[in-house]
Copies of this chain bind each other. A is one copy, B any other.
Amino acid sequence: MLNNALEYARQNQAGFLEQLKEILAIPTISTLDENNQDMQRGAEWTANKLKSIGMNHVQIMPTGGHPVVYGDWLNAGKDAPTMMIYGHYDVQPVDPIELWKSDPFQAEVRGDNLYARGSSDMKAQVLASIYAVESVLKTGGLKVNIKWLIEGEEEIGSEHLGEFIKKHKGMLKADFCLNPDAGMLGPNEPAIVTGLRGLMYAELRVYGPSKDLHSGGFGGTIHNPAQALAELIAGMHDKKGKVTLPGFYDKVRKISAKERAEFKRLPGNNRKELLKITGAPELWGEPQFMPAERVGGRPTLEINGLLSGFTGQGSKTVLPAWSMAKISCRLVPDQTPEETFKQLKAYLKKSAPKTVKWELIGLHNAGAALTEVDNIGVQALAKAQEKVWGRKPYFAREGGSIGVVVQLQEYVGVDSVLCGFGLPDDGAHSPNEKLHLPTWRKGIESIIHMIHNLSA
C-alpha cells in the first residue's frame, strides 16, 4: 500500500509540477486591492484541486477579508485519527520587480530550482500535502481522516482567521494540525517545530516636566525622563541577563532533559555561525542555557524602540519632557501575556521614582504554543522524515509567534506539527524566490510516509 502511493507520486511528478505552475501563475498578493480578483481565483483553483482529488464538503468560506478554503475526507471512520492540514494560498508582493531574473508569476525551472513568487512560501507546500493525500487515496490506502484549512491572509497577519476558527470550532476538530509553513534547516536537515513563543508588547512612557526645559537652568533639580527611563529599563534585567519582573519565571515550564537534548542538537547553538549571521560582536544571554534554548525555551524582555528629546544632528541642550520605550516579552508555556503585562506594571510601580510619572500601554498579546514531542503527528512525521532523509529530524522550539498555531491550540485544542520543505536560502519574501525541487519531491514522499505511519 505504502509502495503503491509512493509509486503513484513518482509517476505523476511531471503533472504535479505543471499544476504547481498553474497556481503559481495566479498573483494572489493579499495586501494589494488590485489583486482582489486574483485572490478569488486562487481560492477557486485551490477548492477545485481539493474536489479533483476526492475531497468532500469543499467550500470557499467568507471571512472579514479574503476567503478560507475548506474541504475534508472523513471516510476513515470515527476511530481513525483526524489530521488537519493548514496552508495559505496568498503570497507576498514582488517588489523590487527589477531584481527578478524571470517573471515572478511565470514559474521557471533553472537547474534544480523552480523560481516564482509563492513557490517556497507556500503554494508548493500546500500542493505537496494535496499530492501526498491524493497519492494515498488514489491507491486505496487512506485510513486517516483529513481536514483542510487554507487561508488567504497569512502574509497580512491572518487578521480574520482567529474569528473564523472561533466560529467553526466544531468543523475544525482534529487530532493535530500539519502546518507545512515552516522549513528545513538544510537540504538534508529535516526539522519539526514543536514550540513557538508568545508575545506581550507594550509602550512605556515616562513623563517629567510639562514641557522641554533648558538643561542648564534645571539640570540637577529635575529628574531627566530619558535618564529615568534608562534607569527603569536597566533594572529589568539582572547582570546575568535574567528578567527581574516580579513573578516573571513563576509559570515558565521547565525544559525537560529530553527537550534539552533536542535543543543541544540544533545548529542554532553554533556561536561562530550566530555571530556571522547577526554581525553582533559577541553572544549574550542567560549563561546556564544554550543559545537555541534561550531562543526557543526561555522567555525574554526586549527593548524594541527608544525615543526622547533631541535626536537630530548636532546638539540641543534640552531636558526632555518625556521619554518612550517599546518593550516586548517573548513568552513560553505556561506564561500568559496578560499576566506578563501585570508583572511589568508591578515592576514599574515598585521601581519608578516619585520624580517622574509613567504610563504603560498594552499593544499586542499572543500566547505561546507547544506541541509535545510524543504527539501522534510529530511521531508519525519524525519517523517519515527519518525514512526519507536517512536521519532523525531536529525538534525545534523557535522564538517567534504564529497566530494560527496559538488560535488552533486555544480555541479548538488542536496542536500543530510545523514543518516544510523550503530551505533557508529560498528567499521566501525576496526577489527570485525559489523552490528546491528534489527537496520538494522528498517532502511529498515524507507526507505519504507520515499518513501511512498514522494508520500503521
Contacts and interface: CB of A to CB of B under 8 A. Distances in A.
A215 B294 CA distance: 12
A1 B308 CA distance: 59
Interface in A263-305: 274, 278-286, 291, 294-295, 298, 300, 302-305
Interface in A221-273: 221-224, 226-227, 229-231, 233-237, 241
A304 B280 contact: no
A314 B354 CA distance: 28
B215 A304 contact: yes
A294 B219 CA distance: 8
A390 interface: no
Interface stretch (A64-72, A162-170, A355-363, A431-439): A355-363
Contact of A306 (B214, B304, B311, B399): B311
Contact of A224 (B226, B302, B318): B302
A149 interface: no
Interface in A354-377: 354-357, 363-364
Contacts of A363: 314-315
A230, A234, A241, most chain B CB atoms within 10 A: A230
Contact of A309 (B197, B303, B308): B303
A340 interface: no
A152 interface: no
A317 B280 contact: no
Given A306-B323, A308-B303, A317-B304, A217 B283 contact: no
A interface SS class: mixed
A304 B221 CA distance: 15
A47 interface: no
Interface stretch (A108-116, A203-211, A413-421): A203-211
A213 B278 contact: yes
A182 to B, nearest CB: 12
B220 A399 contact: yes
A41 interface: no
Contacts of A231: 230, 233-234, 237
Contacts of A229: 230, 306
11 contacts: A199-B317, A218-B295, A220-B399, A221-B291, A222-B278, A222-B280, A222-B285, A226-B304, A226-B325, A305-B318, A307-B307
Interface of A: 197, 199, 201, 208-211, 213-224, 226-227, 229-231, 233-237, 241, 274, 278-286, 291, 294-295, 298, 300, 302-311, 314-320, 323-326, 328, 330, 353-357, 363-364, 398-401
Question: 6 tightest A-B contacts by CB?
Answer: A210-B279, A216-B400, A234-B234, A223-B284, A230-B233, A220-B294
